[in-house]
Structure 1
Amino acid sequence: MRVVTISATYGTAGSVIGPAVAGCLGVPFMDRAIPCAVADELGCTLEEALAHDDRAQRGLGRFLAEAMRLPTVTFGGMDMYLPGNMPLPAEDFVTHTERVIRQTARGQGGVILGRAGALVLADHPGALHVRLDGSPKRRMIQTATLTGVTERQARRLVEDNDRARAAYVRHFYRADPASPLLYHLVIDSTSIPIDTCVELIVTASTALS
């Protein structure tokens, strides 16, 4: 089965490109379904699972990103601050998220958006790892255009989401999600049309598998 992981910075249309790639490959698109499955496995609410998810608007990445701003935190050394109101250890949610991702890859395959998929499935045979990126300015403009927010709001969305998603990967995997060494394919989806991005990923996935 085809497996594609997509790491997307904010404003690069990952939530548009991902489903389109999945449709072309005939596999599920895994985004919201991942925290839903984690909640089911752990017997917790979806809200609790989303609180630990890297792509949720108020997920664990936000807490980690805020922790980086604290003067007493040694981020690189993993001496991190985690809020005391987390109902279950964050590591439990990450472990179950990894399990859902691996089960998907071993089973029906899928296009997996975010959640350090390229690191979780680094050794999975035939898995294609993709990074969607673009200049902060173009991502800001694209965010403002697609969402209708102001330029200032778009800049804040891009900066906050970038910081949160990077914090999640660095904290749990000690890796830089922007490193091209993690991916087979890095695409500027703010400059290359979405249809072309989809075609590139589908072609690469077909060639790799």
Structure 2
Amino acid sequence: MRVVTISATYGTAGSVIGPAVAERLGVPFVDRAIPSAVAEELGCTLEEALAHDDRAEHGLGRLLSGTMRLPTVTFGGVDMYVPGAMPLAPEEFVRRTEKLLKESARNQGGVFLGRGGALVLADVPGALHVRLDAPVRRRVLQTAAYSEISERQARKVIDDNDRARTAYVRHFYRADPADPSHYHLVIDSTTIPAPVCVDLITSAAEALN
């Protein structure tokens, strides 16, 4: 079974390239299904689970910056409370997410976008780890064009998401998600067209199996 992890900075078309690679390889694309499954297992709502998600624009980044202060659980110096039958500690959410990632990789393979996949699945034989990244300016232009928003708005979205995703990986894995040593391929998908990125990743994944 083929396993590909994709770490994508905001504005590099990870949500477009990931599903296309999965389709080409004939494996599932695993993205939002992870917090949904975790939320179901823990008995909390998807909205609550996304507050811990590394891609939630107003989730982890806001918690770590101290702009959201809710009582009960302390996380990164910020007090946090998750409504429901039980408090959901961030460490527990991440532990359950890791469990689902590993089980999915073992049982059916897949293309995994985000959630520290390259670190969580680093020991999976034959797994390909990919980083999509580019200079901020090019990501701003691509985001503005794709989302039909101003460049100023695009820059804010990118800054918020960059901080949240970097904080997620550094807090839970003591690692820098931009470190190229975590990956087999690092691709600038703002310069290389998405279909070519899909070809490159698919070819590399097939070469490892």
TM-score by length of 1: 0.91
Q: Which residue of 2 aligns with 1:148?
A: 148
What's the secondary structure of 1:112's corresponding residue? strand
| Contact 2:4 2:111 (C-alpha < 8 Å) held by counterparts | yes
- TM (norm. structure 2) is 0.91
Deviation at 1:90, TM superposition (A): 0.6
What residue in structure 1 maps to residue 118 of structure 2?
Answer: 118
Deviation at 1:80, TM superposition (A): 2.6
Q: CA deviation at 1:177?
A: 0.1
Partner of 2:3: 3
Report the Cα offset of residue 93 of structure 1. Answer: 0.3
Task: Name the count of aligned residue pairs.
Answer: 198
Letter in 1 for 2:130: V
Q: Within 5 Å, which residues of 2 pair with 1:197-208?
A: 197-208=197-208
Q: Percent of aligned positions with the same letter in both sequences?
A: 68
CA distance in 1, matches of 2:97, 2:56: 13
In the other structure, the counterpart of 1:75 is none
Q: Is residue 183 of structure 2 the alignment partner of residue 187 of structure 1?
A: no
- 1:101 alignment counterpart: 101
- Residue of structure 1 in register with 2:41 after alignment: 41
Task: Determine the structure 2 residue equivalent to 1:55.
Answer: 55
SS at match of 1:83: strand
**Residues 79-111 of structure 1: CA deviation (Å, up to 9, x unaligned):** 931333244111110000000100110011110
Gaps of 5+ in 1: 68-78
Q: How many angstroms apart in 2 are the aligned matches of 1:196 and 1:117?
A: 22
Structure 1 segments (4+ residues) deviating >4 Å: none
Query: How far did 1:44 drift?
Result: 1.6
Residue identity in the other structure for 1:84: M
Give 2:164's aligned residue: 164
Matching residue of 2:128: 128
Following TM superposition, by how much is the alpha carbon of 1:168 offset from its aligned partner in structure 2, in angstroms? 0.3
Conserved 8 A contact 2:98-2:120: yes
Task: Report the counterpart of residue 28 of structure 2 in structure 1.
Answer: 28
- 1:29–1:112 contact (8 Å) kept in structure 2: yes
The answer on 1:83 being equivalent to 2:82 is: no
Is the 1:53–1:61 contact (alpha carbons within 8 Å) kept by the matching residues of 2? no
AA aligned to 1:8 is A
Cα 1:61–1:96 change in 2 (3 A) is farther
Q: d(CA) in 1 for partners of 2:59 and 2:104?
A: 22
Cα deviations across residues 153-197 of structure 1 (Å, max 9, x unaligned)? Answer: 011111111111000000000000000000000000000000000
CA distance in 1 between counterparts of 2:204 and 2:62 reads: 33
Q: Do the aligned partners of 1:29 and 1:111 also contact (CA within 8 Å) in 2?
A: yes
Contact 2:50 2:56 in 1 (8 A): yes
- Root-mean-square deviation (CA, aligned residues, Å) is 1.4
